[in-house]
Amino acid sequence: MKVPAAVFLALLAAGCVSAPVQTAGIETSAAPSSVTGTWDFVVSGKNPPQLFSFALTDIPAETCISGTWYQARPLSAPNGSAPRPAYQYQSGKLQILFSTELCDAYTSVIGSVSGSSFEGSHVSYGLFGSTEHGKARGTLRH
């Protein structure tokens, strides 16, 4: 049975469309547009509340953690506590990793997004477990 060339090319093109795109070793996919923008966070715990602001972009980021990550530009953070942040958003859950410079030792805010609001926890985790440092609340600027 012969397959017409047009059918073969259509099937080949369809297969290529669904494949993930690789850019400089980073798998890319559409950034979660529902969370891109500028977010302001208040992190509270044992210490006085800390204020963070991040611009969540659609630019892929490299991290030591599996999954699809995007760059988060720090607009304000206490004394360099977020030198090279990245974020991940899936199924209503947002995680902002404060630094991608160290592997196996992470500090982040993790929680749920509902509309333009975030509610979650400030945690650190690594090879030997995790610690919750306090709560985090955030809002998306309009």
Question: Does residue 21 form part of some domain?
Answer: no
Residue 58 sits in a domain whose CATH number is: 2.40.160
Checking if the pLDDT of 29 tops 70, the result is no
Question: Does residue 40 form part of some domain?
Answer: yes
**91 contacts 75 by C-beta, under 8 angstroms:** no
Question: Does residue 104 form part of some domain?
Answer: yes
Question: Does residue 51 form part of some domain?
Answer: yes
Question: Does residue 95 form part of some domain?
Answer: yes
Number of domains making up the chain: 1
Question: Does residue 20 form part of some domain?
Answer: no
The boundaries of the domain holding residue 136 are: 27-140
Question: Does residue 4 form part of some domain?
Answer: no
Checking if the pLDDT of 93 tops 80, the result is yes
Question: Does residue 8 form part of some domain?
Answer: no
Long-range contacts: 85-93, Cβ < 8 Å, 24+?
Answer: 85/54, 86/61, 86/62, 87/35, 87/54, 87/56, 87/61, 89/32, 89/34, 89/35, 89/113, 90/32
Average pLDDT, the chain: 81
How far, in Å, are 40, 68, 73, 98 from residue 103 at the CA level?
26, 16, 19, 12
Per-residue pLDDT tens digits for 50-88 = 999 999 999 999 999 999 999 999 999 888 788 899 999
